[in-house]
């Protein structure tokens, strides 16, 4: 036992010093840099929902080759990239606008539309409300919760009135992974047209659905000028660091106003080249969709086996609740998880985990078992599927 006291004191001091170095909590996940600054090594990152296969090699080569033209300004209109996107989406290039990630386009849309009153769901992606508040817009939240499966319901239509200038829907929703039934989506779109409301649909995670075209509203752009769709290369192609997104719009006037609502060179040359190359990666897309489609139900089953309340998401991540805190214990084990306590409508018992490669998912499940195992004594397990979380006896 001799020397145990000094060793414990040293361990406590090291933990305290690491916490002093810890950066402030960020709004979003993916803070690998903060972890590396604290621990001096990269984490296993489940807080960022990007392709577990990494950047496609063809995309990497295209971006590197484009650096040879770094002395030139990038094309401010992204003409070659817009042409490639238009071919892939089956739309006219004039219906496409590119930006520095979808978040850039969300802010541009709000600044261009200048809404006075807007409707969002809660919980959902935080940048909708952040952009709206920046523009001085009144935000109305439609609550989603475990008691209703985190689903948008028909009563959502009652909140779409002529006084609402803009409606945001995330399909599938972040962080829940749930989608709105297509019949209701179409009703929302039609209701927005009746009230003169812009419907902004975020389809950035739509590529991970079982049948993406069946849920997308892109085929209706020609019929609805009040429709705006956001998409990104970030998730499917693991291009988060290159910052590339695009939107498809039914109104040429709105897209023109969005183009004027920010700096004139929103997309770098390497990012434009990477986007064009990514759209040719058909084999990669099939591989990542297959991997996520296989691993998501496995990860869900592993989480449910630990007694966690898992939302049956349809994207490349899962939302779940835990009876014990997870962020710090996992962080000490080299794993980052997305805490969802800063989402409206969720508290600190909710977490989001990306679907990664099989060996990564097993490591997460093992670590969670080590943390949750002792806490399961006295807990009544939930039935499989959607549930709010374990309930104390």
Q: What is the pLDDT of residue 3?
A: 52
Q: What is the pLDDT of residue 183?
A: 98
Q: What is the pLDDT of residue 24?
A: 61
Q: What is the pLDDT of residue 390?
A: 32
Give the CA diameter of the chain: 79
Contact 216, 229 (CB under 8 A): yes
Whether residues 367 and 266 share a domain: the answer is no
Residue 70 in any domain: the answer is: yes
Residue 14 in any domain: the answer is: no
The two beta strands, 227-232 and 245-249, are antiparallel
Alpha-carbon distance values, 103 to 99, 108, 110, 377 (Å): 8, 9, 11, 43
Whether residues 237 and 145 share a domain: the answer is yes
Q: Is 91 helix (H, G, I), strand (E, B) or coil?
A: coil
Q: CATH number of the domain that 101 lies in?
A: 3.40.640.10
Q: What is the pLDDT of residue 278?
A: 98
Q: Is 87 helix (H, G, I), strand (E, B) or coil?
A: helix
Residue 120, H or E segment: strand 117-122
pLDDT, one tens digit per residue, over 279-305 is 999 999 999 999 999 999 999 999 999
Whether residues 132 and 49 share a domain: the answer is no
Whether residues 30 and 109 share a domain: the answer is no
Whether residues 246 and 354 share a domain: the answer is no
Residue 375 in any domain: the answer is: yes
* Residue where one domain finishes, among candidates 224, 250, 278: 278
Whether residues 240 and 327 share a domain: the answer is no
Residue 75 CB contacts under 8 Å (≥ 6 apart), including other chains: 81, 269, 272
Q: What is the pLDDT of residue 242?
A: 96
Whether residues 340 and 231 share a domain: the answer is no
Whether residues 298 and 274 share a domain: the answer is no
Residue 18 in any domain: the answer is: no
Write down the pTM of the prediction.
0.89
Q: What is the pLDDT of residue 10?
A: 52
Residue 117, H or E segment: strand 117-122
| Residue 201 burial (10 A CB sphere; 0-12, 13-18, 19+) | buried
Q: CATH number of the domain that 300 lies in?
A: 3.90.1150.10
Whether residues 203 and 145 share a domain: the answer is yes
Q: What is the mean pLDDT of the chain?
A: 91
pLDDT, one tens digit per residue, over 9-23 is 554 444 545 554 555
Residue 101: domain span: 57-278
Residue 166 in any domain: the answer is: yes
Q: What is the pLDDT of residue 386?
A: 46
Residue 20 in any domain: the answer is: no
pLDDT < 50 stretches in the chain = 1, 11-14, 16, 20, 377-393
Whether residues 81 and 41 share a domain: the answer is no
Whether residues 73 and 164 share a domain: the answer is yes
Rounded to the nearest 5 percent, the helix, strand and coil shares of the chain are: 45, 15, 40
Domains of the chain: total: 2
Q: What is the pLDDT of residue 385?
A: 43
The DSSP-derived string for 352-388 is: EEE---HHHHHHHHHHHHHHHGGGGTTEEPPPSSS-S
33 phi, psi to nearest 5 deg: -65, -40
Contact 392, 336 (CB under 8 A): no
| Residue 31 burial (10 A CB sphere; 0-12, 13-18, 19+) | buried
* Residue where one domain finishes, among candidates 225, 252, 278: 278
Whether residues 268 and 306 share a domain: the answer is no
Provide the phi-psi class of 69: left if phi over 0, else alpha when psi is between -120 and 50, else beta. Answer: alpha
* Residue where one domain finishes, among candidates 226, 244, 278: 278
Residue 47 in any domain: the answer is: yes
Residue 3 in any domain: the answer is: no
């Amino acid at each position: 036992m001799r020397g145990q006291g000094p060793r414990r004191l040293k361990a406590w001091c090291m933990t305290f010093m690491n916490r002093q170095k810890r950066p402030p909590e960020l709004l979003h996940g993916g803070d690998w840099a903060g972890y590396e600054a604290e621990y001096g090594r990269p984490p296993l990152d489940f807080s960022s929902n990007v392709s577990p296969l990494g950047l496609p090699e063809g995309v990497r080569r295209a971006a590197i080759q484009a650096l040879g033209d770094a002395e030139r300004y990038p094309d401010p209109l992204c003409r070659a990239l817009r042409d490639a996107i238009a071919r892939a989406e089956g739309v006219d290039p004039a219906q496409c606008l590119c930006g520095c990630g979808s978040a850039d386009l969300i802010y541009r849309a709000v600044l261009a539309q200048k809404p006075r009153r807007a409707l969002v769901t809660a919980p959902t992606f935080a940048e909708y409300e952040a952009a709206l508040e920046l523009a001085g817009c009144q935000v109305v939240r439609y609550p989603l919760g475990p008691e209703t499966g985190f689903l948008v319901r028909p009563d959502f239509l009652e909140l779409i009135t002529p006084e609402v200038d803009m409606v945001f829907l995330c399909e599938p929703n972040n962080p829940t992974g749930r989608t709105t039934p297509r019949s209701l989506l179409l009703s929302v779109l039609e209701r927005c047209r009746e009230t003169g409301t812009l419907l902004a649909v975020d389809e950035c995670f739509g590529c991970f659905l079982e049948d993406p075209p069946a849920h997308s509203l892109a085929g209706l752009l020609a019929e609805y000028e009040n429709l705006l769709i956001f998409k990104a290369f970030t998730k499917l192609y693991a291009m988060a660091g290159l910052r590339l997104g695009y939107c498809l719009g039914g109104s040429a006037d709105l897209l023109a106003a969005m183009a004027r609502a920010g700096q004139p060179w929103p997309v770098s040359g390497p990012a434009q080249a990477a986007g064009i190359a990514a759209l040719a990666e058909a084999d990669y897309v099939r591989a990542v969709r297959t991997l996520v489609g296989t691993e998501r139900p496995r990860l869900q089953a592993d989480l449910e086996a630990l007694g966690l309340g898992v939302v049956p998401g349809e994207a490349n991540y899962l939302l779940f609740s835990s009876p014990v805190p997870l962020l710090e214990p996992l962080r000490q084990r080299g794993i980052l998880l997305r805490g969802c306590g800063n989402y409206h409508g969720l508290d600190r018992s909710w977490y989001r985990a990306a679907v990664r490669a099989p060996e990564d998912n097993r490591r997460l499940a093992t670590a969670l078992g080590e943390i949750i195992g002792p806490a399961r004594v006295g807990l009544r397990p939930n039935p499989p599927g959607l549930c709010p979380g374990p309930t104390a006896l």
